[in-house]
């Protein structure tokens, strides 16, 4: 029998020779990664050196010493106390809160409207389906900036002046300077109301968990929505009744040429939220439609065979399975909405870009520091949003048995 020991050596290569380093994939991978890191470090060093040299040439001091200096300018919408005597750091917080406010409101209303329009796109009602299709096709193909300008200049800026405000009753007024609504003022004893709201939220979470476990065990549904609404409304009302209703309302009143009191929703905020929600919800609608269509038709037929009507089939069978397809692209739309909110500067809404990367930068000249902070803030918002949506996506993922 022939000896097979020498058969393992490749043809043309002497047995026992080592593989050259330049042919080793692992070594080549490490080498090219090291070269890439070196290039990145070199480009960063050149950029920083160039920036430092330019700042010195223009006699601009680098650093964050400007943070505690007096801002000296007013901001039209502030969620916290702010005056022109406040610091630039305070102005940064005001702009950040305004950005987060737009993002939170926009995401909530975009999700609701997008799901409704997406479901309507698949409605058997011909008229409703065509209206939803027209909504999607029109709003998706008009640039967002043009939509913002339309809502701000063509719609809201054409409203009457304060003296001719549209009165909706109950202290609600609409004019060119915004929407004025009553502001609740909580007096002594209102702490019980706050506690009741917290207790109601905790009870709703516990109720939802129990209802899901009960349905998994018995197959019987529990009216979670109606009971949750009853808890959320009933408990705070009971707390108010027990404390003698220590809540009054600050009603907006016309004084001179403008309204005072109440809560003011400035037209810039309304136009920005309208534009972002309508534009982004058109994309979300198509994502929802695609997710629903990805669910096998046999699932709906099986649900109908079990006696579920169309609403129950959609809510209990189709949507839960479609969510695994919907959530990943939905995350991208949420991120786009927050980043697109930087267009607020076009209509004068005081978001982070307008206040901090605009006014503060122009007054201090600290371009590198201000722009770096602004970019890091939006990066952090995007990463946190992505992390939450990834967690939610993993939570709703189908688990195979």
Q: pLDDT tens digits, residue range 361-392? A: 999 888 888 999 999 999 999 999 999 999 99
Average pLDDT over every residue of 329-354: 94
Q: What is the pLDDT of residue 61?
A: 67
For the chain, how big is the Rg over CA atoms in Å? 29
Residue, of 184 and 273, whose pLDDT is higher? 273
- How confident is the model at residue 316, as a pLDDT? 81
User: Which letter, b or e, does each residue of 249-271 get, where b requires 16 or more Cβ atoms within 10 Å of its Cβ?
Assistant: eebbeeeeeebebbebebbbbbb
Pick the more confident residue, 317 or 270.
270
Read off the pLDDT of residues 293-332 as tens digits, 9 standing for 90 and up.
988 888 888 888 887 788 888 888 888 888 889 999 999 9
Q: How confident is the model at residue 101 (pLDDT cuts 50, 70, 90)?
A: very high
CA-to-CA separations, 298 to 79, 92, 304, 318, in angstroms, rounded: 51, 54, 10, 10
Average of per-residue pLDDT across 138-144: 94
Please state the rounded mean pLDDT for residues 218-225. Answer: 83
pLDDT tier, 239 (very low <50, low <70, confident <90, very high otherwise): confident
Q: Is the pLDDT of residue 6 over 50?
A: no
Q: What is the mean pLDDT of the chain?
A: 87
Range from 65-79, 104-118, 196-210, 216-230 carrying the lowest mean pLDDT: 216-230
Q: What pLDDT is stored for residue 342 in this prediction?
A: 93
Give yes or no for residue 5 having a pLDDT over 90. Answer: no
Residue in this structure with the two tokens 């609740």, named with its chain if needed? 184
Q: What is the pLDDT of residue 146?
A: 95
Of 351 and 305, the structure prediction assigns the larger pLDDT to: 351
Give the side-chain half-sphere CA count within 13 A for 331.
18
Q: Which residue has the higher pLDDT, 136 or 54?
A: 136
Give mean pLDDT, residues 21-42.
Answer: 86
Q: What is the pLDDT of residue 18?
A: 65
Residue 1 pLDDT greater than 50, yes or no: no
15 pLDDT tier (thresholds 50, 70, 90): low
Residue 267 pLDDT: 92
């Amino acid at each position: 029998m022939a000896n097979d020991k020498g058969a393992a050596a490749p043809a043309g290569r002497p047995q026992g020779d080592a593989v050259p380093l330049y042919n080793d994939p692992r070594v080549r991978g490490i080498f090219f990664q090291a070269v890439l890191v070196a290039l990145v470090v070199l480009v960063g060093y050149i950029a920083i050196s160039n920036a430092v040299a330019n700042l010195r040439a223009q006699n601009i001091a680098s650093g964050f010493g400007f943070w505690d200096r007096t801002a000296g300018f007013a901001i039209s919408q502030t969620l916290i106390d702010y005056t022109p005597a406040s610091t630039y750091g305070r102005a940064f917080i005001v702009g950040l809160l305004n950005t987060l406010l737009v993002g939170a409101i926009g995401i909530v209303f975009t999700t609701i409207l997008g799901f409704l329009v997406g479901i309507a796109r698949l409605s058997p009602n011909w008229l409703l389906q065509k209206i939803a299709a027209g909504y999607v096709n029109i709003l998706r193909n008009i640039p967002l900036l043009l939509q913002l300008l339309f809502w701000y200049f063509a719609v809201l800026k054409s409203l009457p002046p304060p003296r001719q405000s549209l009165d909706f009753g109950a202290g609600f007024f609409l004019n060119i300077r915004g929407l004025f609504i009553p502001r609740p003022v909580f007096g002594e004893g209102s702490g019980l109301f706050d506690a009741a709201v917290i207790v109601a939220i905790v009870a709703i979470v516990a109720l939802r968990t129990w209802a899901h476990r009960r349905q998994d065990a018995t197959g019987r549904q529990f009216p979670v929505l109606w009971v949750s609404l009853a808890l959320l409304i009933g408990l705070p009302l009971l707390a108010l009744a027990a404390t003698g209703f220590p809540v009054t309302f600050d009603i907006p009143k016309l004084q001179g040429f403008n309204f005072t009191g109440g809560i003011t929703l400035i037209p810039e905020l309304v136009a920005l939220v309208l534009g972002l929600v309508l534009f982004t919800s058109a994309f979300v609608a198509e994502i929802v439609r695609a997710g629903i269509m990805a669910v096998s038709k046999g699932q709906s037929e099986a649900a109908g065979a079990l006696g579920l009507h169309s609403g129950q089939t959609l809510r209990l069978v189709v949507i839960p399975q479609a969510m695994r397809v919907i959530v990943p692209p939905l995350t991208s739309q949420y991120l786009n909405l927050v980043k697109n909110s930087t267009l607020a500067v076009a209509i004068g809404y005081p978001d982070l870009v307008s206040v901090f990367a605009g006014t503060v930068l122009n007054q201090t000249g600290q371009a590198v520091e201000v722009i770096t902070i602004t970019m890091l803030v939006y990066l952090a918002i995007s990463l946190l949003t992505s992390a939450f949506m990834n967690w939610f996506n993993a939570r709703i993922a189908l688990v195979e048995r």
